[in-house]
Amino acid sequence: MSLKNWDNKTWLSSPSYIKSFNNFLLKQVKLNKNSQILDIGCGRGKILGSLSLKLSLKRKSTGIDIENHKDRDKRIIFKKIDALKFLKNNKKRFDLILLKQTIHLFKIKDIKTILKLSKTLLNPNGKIIIFTLDPINNEIPTFSIMRKKTEKSLNKRQENY
């Protein structure tokens, strides 16, 4: 079974969630129309596309994901690529690098490499923001196979800390 459409048409893709998330994000990071943003594990890119519109960005932000969703947001530059491969080969600099509920899917050694490479791609005063799932109070609606894969991933993280 594929995990490709697990969040399609749920509260995670609702306009109110996206607006609330972006408002929270803008309280944490100073961004403007010239900002360059990278979203690692962007999914359909709806959050990044909405943020691009809200800020009236001059240049499209970049979203990367290993799934190429048909309904991805056209307001971003979407790249279907593995995060490590992208970060190793990218020369562009960013004001914000966002990892939203994806970091737990990587192996510990890959997380360290992702963070190290991301840091080298930041503009001065740039920020890396990581949102992760709480391994105890995870309330994201899931179906059976997704719940099992998420729990396995989160448990693996706890064992390595």
CB 118 within 8 A of CB 141: no
pLDDT over threshold 60, residue 142:
no
Q: What residue spans define the domains of the chain?
A: 11-159
Between these two residues, 138 and 104, which has the higher pLDDT value? Answer: 104
C-alpha span between 118 and 30 (Å, rounded) = 18
pLDDT over threshold 60, residue 87:
yes
Which pLDDT score is estimated for 1?
A: 37
Q: What is the pTM of this model?
A: 0.77
C-alpha span between 38 and 51 (Å, rounded) = 12
Between these two residues, 124 and 135, which has the higher pLDDT value? Answer: 124
- CA-based nearest residue to 138, from 129, 128, 148: 148
The CATH class of the 11-159 domain is alpha beta
pLDDT over threshold 60, residue 158:
no
Which pLDDT score is estimated for 92?
A: 95
Which pLDDT score is estimated for 33?
A: 97
- CA-based nearest residue to 41, from 113, 92, 109, 98: 98
C-alpha span between 125 and 104 (Å, rounded) = 26
Among 54-63, 118-127, 135-144, which is the least confidently predicted range? 135-144
Which pLDDT score is estimated for 89?
A: 96
Q: How many CB atoms lie within 10 A of CB 132?
A: 13
pLDDT over threshold 80, residue 143:
no
